[in-house]
Amino acid sequence: MSEQQPGPAPLAPDPSKPKDQGSLWGGIGLAWAVMVGGELALGSLGVTYWLVPPIAVVVLAVVLLTQGQTRTGRGVLLGLASIVAVALLLVAACFGLVMSGGGLHFD
């Protein structure tokens, strides 16, 4: 007759393994989604609400960082920085077009 040998005991979770800290790219996408969605939703209410989406992005980043989702929180802050960079580049491009007289001239 065959006797069943007890197998090895199940391994306990390794405490040295880091827990899930989120996704950097997910945080960047989340920042863009909150910013664009917030501006679209609040844009019709007037100029007084234009600061709400950036403040919401910063609050979201702080909440994620304090809850242990450090990579996602850093991604949200990086996403906010990329939004500011894109806005700066667009302003510079429009300023250059205006100062040059409109860009294309077909005389």
The whole-number average pLDDT for the span 43-72 is 91
In tens, the pLDDT along 10-44 reads 666 666 666 788 899 999 999 999 999 999 998 88
pLDDT of residue 46: 80
Do 79 and 33 meet the contact criterion of CB atoms below 8 Å apart?
Answer: no
Q: Is the pLDDT of residue 63 over 70?
A: yes
Please tell me the pTM assigned to this model.
0.73
Interior/surface letters 83-96, b for 16+ CB within 10 angstroms, e for the rest: beeeeeeeeeeeee
Q: Vertex 68, ends 24 and 66: CA angle to 5°?
A: 105
